Every structure is written in C-alpha cells, then in structure tokens.
Amino acid sequence: MMKSIGSRMRSLSKASVLSVAVGVALSTAGISAQAAGPTLSEADFEKGKSIYFQRCAGCHGTLRKGATGKSLEPIVKKKMKDGTVKTSGTLKLGQDRLEKIITYGTEGGMNNFDDILTKEEITLMAKYIQMEPPVPPEMSLALMKERHKVFVAPEDYPTKPMHGRNWKNFFLVIERDVGKVAIIDGDKKEIVAHIPTGYAVHVLKAVEHHETLHVKNAGRFWYIMGRDGMMTKVDLWANPDKMKVAQVQVAYDARDVAVSGDGKYVIGGGYWPPHFVIADAKTMEPLKVVSTRGVNVDGEYVNESRVAAVYDTPKAPSWLVSAKELGQMWQVDYSDLDNLKIVKMDTAKYLHDGFYDPTNRYFQIAANASNKMVVVDTVDQKLEAMIDVDSKPHPGPGANWIDPKCGPVGGTTHLGVGKVTAWGNDPVGHPDQAWKICYEVETDGAGVFLRTHPKSDYVWADQTKHPEPEVQQSVQVISKKTREIVKTIQLTTKKGYAAVHFEFNADGSEVWASVWNRADSKKPNGEIIIFDAKTLKEVGRIKGLYAPTGKFNVYNRVNHVT
C-alpha cells in the first residue's frame, strides 16, 4: 500500500524534500513508465525528480518539452511537410545512448556529468527521463504571503553603514549549491558574510541608474533570486548578522529579479509556475501575480512559458520581462499596478538573458534555440532588430566595447559552439554597422559568460560548456584592438572544477574569475582568482567559498558598467 503524502514527505531525504517543495509533483502517477520503458521504485523516482530539478530543468524545462536544451519527453511526434509523422524522444534514444550523453556531454552545449553524478545516478537519470514527466502544482498569492518573512523591520534599518567598509566596491558572490551569497570586500579582499538565501541563486540585482527616477544610496539594498523561487532582500549597510532583512517565495523554480527605478517595487520571474510576481521592495510583501502562459509567435498555446530575464528600463518606469517560450518581450509599466499596462513585442524563441547597449535604450537578449540576438527599443516599445548568430547565444550580463572599425559593439559567447560574436550597436553614430555582425572570434570551447570594462583593453570569455576538462577549466582573453585571443589561462586542474564568470572591480583595475567546484560544492573549496586587468597576471586569491559562480560588483551593476 502506498504511503500517504504526509508520511512520504517526512520520510524523504533532504534532496527529495527540496524536490517536493519546489513542486516537482507530489503524485506518484509518473512512476509508471511508457509501454516497454523502464520503471523505478518510488524512492528512486523521487531522487530522479530532485536531480532533474537541480541539474536539468533549467535548459530542458519542467515539463521536459525543451528550450535551450532539447526535448526530453519520452515520445515526441512531429508532423512533416509531406504529411508523414516523425517519432523521436528519449525512449527511442534508449538507455545506453542516454547514459553516454549524460556521462560525457556533447560539444553542442551539454555538460558532462561524470564528475558530478555517480554511475548509479547516471543510470537512474537515463531511466527517469524515459518516463512521463510529473506535473508540478501551482502557487497562489495567498501561499506566497504565507511564505513571506521579515527579519529586520524597515524602521530598524541602520541610518549609516555599520562596518566602516567601502560597500560600493563590495562583490556579491553566488555560492550556488549551499544556497548562500558571500559578501566580499573588494578593497580588502575579505569575506564579510555568507548569507543564507534560496537554493542555487541565479541572479541578484539592486536599484540601477535611471534617467528620471533617482534613489538615494542606490546599491545599498540587493534582491536575490534562488532557483527555488526564494527572493531575499539584503542590506549592505548592516552588520553581517543583520544583512538578511526579508524574503518571500514567489515560485517553485525561478531565475531572475529586478527592482523598479524608484526603488518601490521588486519583480520576480518564475519558471514554474510560469508567471511574474510584483512585491513591495521595502517589506517584500507580494502584491500581484501575472501569468505568462499564452500563444507564442508561432500561434501555438504554451502552458510552460517561463520568465527567464527581468530588467528595469532606465528610460521609462517599466520592466522588461522575457516570456521565454512565447518568444515575446513584455514591457510592463509599473506606474499603476491596479491598471497594469503591458506591451507585448513579438521576437523569437527561446529568450534567455541579455543586457543594454551603452545608451541604455536598446536591450539585447539571446533567443537561444533560434540562434539570434534580439534587440528591442524600450523607448518606442517595439522590436528593433534580430541578428542571426551561431548556435545558442548566451551573453549572460553581456559586454559592450569600442571596435576600431565598427565603433560601439556588443558581444556574446555561445552555448553550442566555441565562438564570441560582436555586432554593431550604435544606430545613431554608426548606422551602417548597427545590428550587423562586426566580427567573430573562434574560441576553444562553448561558453556561458563574457565580460569587459570601459578601461580594459580586453574581453574575457569562459568555456564552461565544453565537455573536456582542460578547456572547461580555461578562460580566453581577447584583444579589443586586434580581435585576437592574446592569452589562454587555465584556472585549475582539479577534477570536477570549472572556470566560470568574470567581474571587474569598481575602478576597472582587476578582473575576478570563479573556480567553481561542480562536484563537491558542500565544502568551502572553491575560490576566486583575481587578475590585473592590464598585465593579465594573477594578483590574488580568495578562498573559503562554496561553489562560487556569478559575481556582482555594486558600483558596476548599479551604473550599468559592461
């Protein structure tokens, strides 16, 4: 006889409780496999759900229909132009083939997992993805309000910095798998605090420079989004034990957060349920939920239309919301929440992450699976351009720089190929180059992030998505002047470690890169390596970090320094 839901939850491991908590289905209906497919015990099915949420759902979708990554549905039927039906899916690939893909990865952007999962777990996951995906529950505004917590009341916030440090050169560093953010003093290279947040933090943001809305001490408060939908508010003026001031869970699976230009509201975008939530930025009380389900640019209804990126618009009182599977950018006016105005701009699938041009008018965002960079005009609120690029562009926070021939350009790495692509992004001063590819640089492997600084002569690109450890652990430095790779730096040789993400300090003199311990993230054995931005020589290391990935410098992020 099956156990009750309550007894099952009490008996689950911590990882499985997380899986249930994030909504990866409470029912056991999915335990029955497709005809002739594999089966799993209840315990193994729960373990598979947890691993899938932590490692796979971001690229392949909660319902496994695919986006940046391919569909992982057991059976996929596609009607061809000649009227025939083509059948594919994980059942057709079979156990052996799936195990090899999970183990070794692919050069198309799929990481190897042989240094993260055991052989038994890889076998389990190959079976799990051949079974019907469980459907997660919804999340109501009432439930969000139940999960809203205030740790320090706004009236008790300090009126001046309590620690005597240069908080404008603080770095907020994601400690991914332990669900924390480290606060690091960029001047003294000291860890100030490890703040508990949501699981696998993805993005964190503060009030950014706005042309008409001005907030005093912008950058003091930071809003952090965990992959479990936990949105946390942090006060950089407080002493370490008082920095975490409030939190609320707005989804079971989420990626991004943004603050309104006036500092009054914060928005969190959900992967599941597919919606965005607007909360009071002072107290973190959730105020409004808006679903992003709808009809995509191909005229098909999409149930899982996830919100990947959310950004404030520096030239208007609005946010940009990317409806990933719809292929639409939504510009949401936050000046009147009761009569919310949303402009929906048709673009391309699958929208993921992006950055502004130097004028802060045009937002440049990757449509991963369409192999395009999409550009929207936030003043005229319309699609400006779509740039055809190589396989699965992924700029992360992006990079803008001046090219000797094309003038101002923006750039991206790619998840599917080792390449950095630069395009013109100055339609006023260089109209002949605008929204056209300026040049491409072949790198050794597919990457996730690139970064530069106005004072730097170089663009830094990682290669985190390449399956070979030596490439995965190396970063490449590209000259802005010559467009050539001038240096390849291997950050580590340890098994299960990767090089990922860059951030400059406030004055642009240093570059910080993460050594991410993918395999054993529960111990403080990751580190940040600091380089001199001009000589490219190592000048320091910060140890004692848990799986450090993304890093956010207060000054640079608030002032849109890319």
Residue 513: Cβ within 10 Å count: 25
* Beta-bridge partners for 248: 231
Residue 90, classified by CB atoms within 10 Å of its CB into exposed (0-12), middle (13-18) or buried (19+), is: buried
* Beta-bridge partners for 548: 175
Residue 190 tokens, joined? 């000291």
Residue 351 tokens, joined? 């929208």
- First-to-last CA distance in the chain? 58
Report the amino acid identity of residue 392.
K
User: Is residue 406 annotated as part of the catalytic site, yes or no?
Assistant: no
Q: Which of 234, 204, 200, 182 minimizes the C-alpha distance to 544?
A: 182
Catalytic residue among 56, 131, 139, 231: 56
What does the longest C-alpha to C-alpha distance in the chain come to? 72
Q: Exposed e or buried b for every residue in 64-75, given b needs 16+ CB within 10 A?
A: bbbbbbbbbbbe
Task: Tell me the Ramachandran region of residue 61: left when phi exceeds 0, alpha when psi lies from -120 to 50, beta otherwise.
Answer: left
Catalytic residue among 275, 394, 414, 466: 394
Residue 293: Cβ within 10 Å count: 15
Report the amino acid identity of residue 478.
I
User: Is residue 59 annotated as part of the catalytic site, yes or no?
Assistant: yes
Cα separation, 201 vs 179, whole angstroms: 6
Catalytic residue among 352, 414, 430, 466: 352
Cα separation, 253 vs 248, whole angstroms: 13
Q: Is 41 helix (H, G, I), strand (E, B) or coil?
A: coil
Catalytic residue among 110, 144, 225, 230: 110
User: Is residue 210 annotated as part of the catalytic site, yes or no?
Assistant: no
Please give the distance of CA 388 from its chain centroid, rounded to a whole number.
Answer: 22
Cα separation, 522 vs 551, whole angstroms: 19
Q: Which of 286, 298, 297, 301 minimizes the C-alpha distance to 330?
A: 297
Q: Is 235 helix (H, G, I), strand (E, B) or coil?
A: strand
Q: Which of 377, 376, 368, 433 minimizes the C-alpha distance to 395?
A: 368
Q: Exposed e or buried b for every residue in 190-226, given b needs 16+ CB within 10 A?
A: ebbbbbebbbbbbbbbbbbbbeebebebbbbbbbbbb
- What sections of 236-309 are H helices per DSSP? none
Residue 74 tokens, joined? 């057991």
Q: Is 97 helix (H, G, I), strand (E, B) or coil?
A: helix
User: Is residue 148 annotated as part of the catalytic site, yes or no?
Assistant: no
**If you compute the radius of gyration of the chain from its CA atoms, what whole number of angstroms results?**
23
Cα separation, 179 vs 172, whole angstroms: 13
Cα separation, 126 vs 293, whole angstroms: 30
Residue 78, classified by CB atoms within 10 Å of its CB into exposed (0-12), middle (13-18) or buried (19+), is: exposed
User: Is residue 352 annotated as part of the catalytic site, yes or no?
Assistant: yes
CB 129 within 8 A of CB 66: no
Catalytic residue among 60, 194, 430, 501: 60
CB 222 within 8 A of CB 172: yes
Q: Which of the residues are catalytic? A: 56, 59-60, 110, 352, 394
